Amino acid sequence: MIVLGVESSCDETGLALYDTERGLLSHALHSQVAMHEEYGGVVPELASRDHIRRALPLLEQALNKAGVAKQDIDAIAYTQGPGLAGALLVGSSVACSLGLALDKPVLGVHHLEGHLLSPLLASERPEFPFIALLVSGGHTQLMRVDGVGRYTLLGETLDDAAGEAFDKSAKLLGLGYPGGPAISRLAEFGDPDAYKLPRPMLHSKDFNFSFSGLKTAVLTVVKNREGGMANICEQDKANIARGFVDAIVDVLTAKCVSALKHTGLKRLVIAGGVGANRQLRASLDAAAAKKKFKVYYPELEFCTDNGAMIAFAGALRLQLNPDAAQRDYGFNVRPRWPLDEIEAA
Ligand code: KG4
Ligand code: ZN
């Protein structure tokens, strides 16, 4: 069975073809980062318009790369939510129109389920059950995963998401958008002892997070410098970046370790854009070696938004329940859609 995946929830347009026998056949992606950069963040209306321009050429690319004809597609999975309403509407309407035109069934997929299952696209697949840390630009959640659609939320952020904290702190340091990768690179040159920033909720004895205070701590450090940002030399910027990255990585690692301990599970899966962060990976790998658990990451290219994870999540659902896709082309998007409200497959 060949499933076409369509992702358009934020600022990436992704189309991909996944075959349940042969695996991922192809994926095509366009990132709008360069377009939104001058505004310092995603402009929803521009995002929607760009998805319209990109979707069909990317479909052609994915089909050509895979050597597959449109008629060979068996089902179409698209991101139904959560995300930007206008952006979601583009991918959903493209997917449902294609379904109608080709007479193929369609299936709405939860964006976070796509992220959550993306490490299973890697060559080394974790078995269920596992603990998942979902760290993206919009979400930070710790979950127990017992199967496709069987997710129990253990804890989440009470304010900013991890990616948001990376982006906002990077912005304070004048690093542009999205700042996650940039602040991470800069931190490599920083002195770990120069700034000890707070580790919010490290000892809260639950699995929740709070990152807005950390961003404020960065702001305070910057403000307290005489002359503000203008007076901060490159080395000092790197030191602040290092202080920030060390703090956030410490909290994320500690909460993962305590979720594993609490559930008695030995497998940890990392998903979402911040999962690409090298300091986080190094810290989790070190904890895994020490505490004897195993960590699984998505391939780097599938950490951030992409169509492959949507095609894959759709394919897994269809394998478990062939009726999951329907010839019902009257789509509705769900910009707000808690992950624990989705149905088990
Ligand atoms: O999962 P994703 O592509 O989009 C959402 O669904 O939100 O995640 C994007 C987020 C951004 O906040 C970006 O700064 C962050 O992931 N990110 C990183 C890294 N790569 C992407 N944060 C830290 N280090 C990175 N290497
Ligand atoms: Zn995402």
Q: What is the pLDDT of residues 291-338, one digit of tens each?
A: 999 999 999 999 999 999 999 999 999 999 999 999 999 989 999 999
Specify the pLDDT at position 343.
86
Cβ atoms of 337 and 316 closer than 8 Å: no
Q: Could you tell me what percent of the chain has a pLDDT over 70? A: 100
Q: For residue 113, give the ligand nearest its CA.
A: 2
Q: Ligand 2: distance of its center to the CA of 290 in Å? A: 30
Specify the pLDDT at position 227.
75
Please give the helix or strand (H or E) that residue 263 lies within, else none.
helix 234-263
Mutate to test the pocket of ligand 1, among 164, 166, 336 (most ligand atoms within 8 A of CB): 166
Q: pLDDT grade, residue 177 (50/70/90)?
A: confident
Cβ atoms of 214 and 202 closer than 8 Å: no
CB-defined site of ligand 1, < 6 Å: 10, 136-138, 163, 166-167, 178-181, 184, 272-274, 276-277, 304-305
Q: Ligand 2: distance of its center to the CA of 115 in Å? A: 7
Cα–Cα distances in angstroms (integers) from residue 173 to residues 129, 186, 232, 300, in the given order = 40, 10, 9, 25
Q: For residue 185, give the ligand nearest its CA.
A: 1
Structural domains of the chain, ranges and CATH numbers in brackets: 2-117+302-341 (3.30.420.40), 127-297 (3.30.420.40)
Strands 75-81 and 23-31, how do they pair?
A: unpaired
Specify the pLDDT at position 31.
98
Q: For residue 271, give the ligand nearest its CA.
A: 1
The amino acid present at 194, given as its one-letter code, is A
Strands 23-31 and 106-110, how do they pair?
A: unpaired
Q: Give pTM, 2 decimals.
A: 0.95
Specify the pLDDT at position 231.
79
Contacts of 95 (CB under 8 A, 6+ apart): 4, 6, 76, 77, 78, 106, 331
Q: Ligand 1: distance of its center to the CA of 145 in Å? A: 22
Specify the pLDDT at position 30.
98
Q: What is the mean pLDDT of the chain?
A: 96
Specify the pLDDT at position 176.
87
Residue 344 has pLDDT above 80, yes or no: yes
Which residue lies with its CA nearest to atom 16 of ligand 1?
273
Q: Ligand 1: distance of its center to the CA of 183 in Å? A: 11
Q: Could you tell me what percent of the chain has a pLDDT over 90? A: 93
Atom nearest to 83 CA in ligand 1:
6
Which residue lies with its CA nearest to atom 3 of ligand 1?
304
Q: Ligand 1: distance of its center to the CA of 304 in Å? A: 6
In this predicted structure, which of 221-225, 264-268, 272-276 has the lowest mean pLDDT? 221-225
Q: pLDDT grade, residue 67 (50/70/90)?
A: very high
Q: Is the dihedral of CA 204, 209, 210, 215 positive or negative?
A: positive
Tokens 């490159």 label which residue?
234
Q: For residue 11, give the ligand nearest its CA.
A: 1
The first and second tokens of residue 135, run together, are 């760290």
Please give the helix or strand (H or E) that residue 216 lies within, else none.
helix 212-224
pLDDT digits (tens, 9 = 90+) for 70-118: 999 999 999 999 999 999 999 999 999 999 999 999 999 999 999 999 9
Length of the chain: 345
Atom nearest to 276 CA in ligand 1:
26
100 φ/ψ angles, rounded to the nearest 5 degrees:
-65, -45
